[in-house]
Each structure stands twice: as C-alpha cells, then as structure tokens.
Amino acid sequence: MKIATWNVNSIKARLDHVMDWLQRDAPEIVCLQEIKCVDENFPAEHFEGLGYNVAVHGQKAYNGVAILSKLPFDDVVSGLAGDAGDDQARYLEAVVSSDGGAVRVACLYLPNGNPPQSEKYPYKLAWMDRLIARAKEVLAFEEIAVFAGDFNVIPGDDDVYDPAAWAGDALCLPATRERFRTLLNLGLSDAFSATHTQRHHYTFWDYQAGAWQKDHGIRIDHLLLSPQAADRLTGCRIDRFTRGWERPSDHVPVWIELDLPLRTG
C-alpha cells in the first residue's frame, strides 16, 4: 500500500494538480498540509468521487491538514495534545483499517519557526516537544504507525543545497535538529534515508530567485515509521516532477510503499 504526504500550499489553488496526481498511481492514503481553508470549504466531494474517505482539520487562511484514505478509518484525533491554547491547525491522526490489519497515520505540519529571534521559534521547539511526547505514546502501542508531513526540519547538511547559507535558519538550527534526532532515537525511521544512499534529494524549492531552475532545494517533507511499519517498508519516492508543473506548490509529494495486506472494498 502507498502512503503519501504533500504540502499543497492551498488546496483551492492546487485542486487540479492534486486530482491529476492522485489519478497517476492512486495512493491508498494521502496526508495533505497547508490546505489553507476551513473544514466546510475543503473540496471533499472531489476526493470522495475518486473513492477516498476524508478527514479535515482546517482553519482560515493559514495551516490546515487533511487525510484522504481509500480504506475506512476511525479514532480521528484533531490537534496535537499538550497546549490547550494552541489554535493552529497542524496535526491530524487517524487509524486506517480493513480486515487485513490497521495502520495509524499522523498528518503533521510542523511550525516553520522563522525568524529564530521571534516568538515563532520557541513555539516551534515547544511543538516539537509535544510531538515527541505523542510519538512516545504511539510507539508504546507497538503498531504499524507513520508520521507524515512537512516537518520544516532539514535533518543534515546533505539535505540542503548550501548548508552554510541555511546554518542560522530555524529549519537547521541545532535545537531543531536535536529534537528531530530525538524522534529518530525513540525508534522512528526516516523512510527516505532508510532506502537511499544518494544525498541531495529535495522536497521543497522556494518560489524565489529561480531556486527550482538552479536545484536550490531542501529536504523537509518526511515519513517517519514505527519499527512495525519500517519492517514492511519496500520503497520511498519523491515525485519531483510536480514542481515543474504550471503554478506548482513549492513542495512535492513524497510517498512510501508498505507490504501490507490491507484491502479496499
């Protein structure tokens, strides 16, 4: 089964792209970020027409996440625990299941955190601490689980075209990378790193300064797998071709293939 993640930078602006991409190889589960709309305005009927069930956690203008699944799901959790005052829509979790088994999917849009001198950076770090706490809980279930999304973390210097230019950025700072490594040290595997030895594969290219044409990219969209999920991993791909489409998202889809007996219908 295929599980994908894609920061679409507005589902309204990107609906045609997402529909075209979904019909290429029909991933069973899709995590979308930066839908930038309230739940009522999410174009669920378009995806339902392709056979997807839909869960949405949106807000006006900013952020917003959604899960599409060809299999039924339950146990939907909207929002990341640990800060009752946080009203940013950045986390959605669901358990997708069939009579062949179940997989827990967490769709996340981790805060960017720039500029680091602002209040946005401590918010990012606190959000990461909350994610670490949730990951500990999920790992204790010993289930097939996937944390997928825009992590806004450049894990290492091999994941950015110019490490020196990004060294002081909130996506690279030591406190950011330390927390990302904590997620890995809990037992989560980065699906892309687990299946590739080549470096400098990117998932985001800025709209500005011809970044795409110059391949000035960064790898910030990740799928982190529980040990039970990693045991089933057979592949991971980055669909860079969508970045060359007309009026693209600045992010491209990343997807994994798991050897799972889950069945649709």
Partner DNA sequence: ATGGTTGGAGCCCAA
Q: Which residues bind DNA (CB under 7 A)?
A: 9-10, 12-13, 36-37, 60-63, 111-112, 114, 120, 207-209, 247
Question: Minimal distance in Å, beta carbon 228 to DNA?
Answer: 32
What's the CA gap between 73 and 54, in Å, rounded? 9
Q: Among residues 114 and 182, whose Cβ is nearest to DNA?
A: 114
What's the CA gap between 36 and 64, in Å, rounded? 6
Grouping H, G, I as helix, E, B as strand and the rest as coil, residue 53 is strand
Q: Among residues 119 and 137, whose Cβ is nearest to DNA?
A: 119
Residue ranges of E strands in 204-253: 204-205, 217-218, 221-225, 233-238
Q: Among residues 111 and 217, whose Cβ is nearest to DNA?
A: 111
Q: Among residues 6 and 73, whose Cβ is nearest to DNA?
A: 6
Q: Among residues 64 and 155, whose Cβ is nearest to DNA?
A: 64
What's the CA gap between 143 and 214, in Å, rounded? 41
Q: CB under 8 Å to 81, separation ≥6 — which residues?
A: 130, 133, 134
Question: Minimal distance in Å, beta carbon 257 to DNA?
Answer: 28
Long-range Cβ pairs for the range 243-250 (8 Å, 24+):
243/205, 243/212, 244/212, 245/17, 247/13, 248/17, 249/6, 249/7, 249/8, 249/9, 249/14, 249/17, 250/7, 250/9, 250/204, 250/205, 250/206, 250/207
Question: Minimal distance in Å, beta carbon 143 to DNA?
Answer: 30
Question: Minimal distance in Å, beta carbon 8 to DNA?
Answer: 9
Q: Among residues 226 and 249, whose Cβ is nearest to DNA?
A: 249
Question: Minimal distance in Å, beta carbon 117 to DNA?
Answer: 13
Phi (first) and psi of residue 250, to 5 degrees: -80, -10
Grouping H, G, I as helix, E, B as strand and the rest as coil, residue 126 is helix
Element (H or E) spanning 11, and its range?
helix 11-25
Q: Among residues 147 and 204, whose Cβ is nearest to DNA?
A: 204
Cα-based distances in Å from 75 to 4, 13, 51, 190: 20, 30, 20, 25
What's the CA gap between 224 and 192, in Å, rounded? 9
Question: Minimal distance in Å, beta carbon 265 to DNA?
Answer: 33
Question: Minimal distance in Å, beta carbon 217 to DNA?
Answer: 14
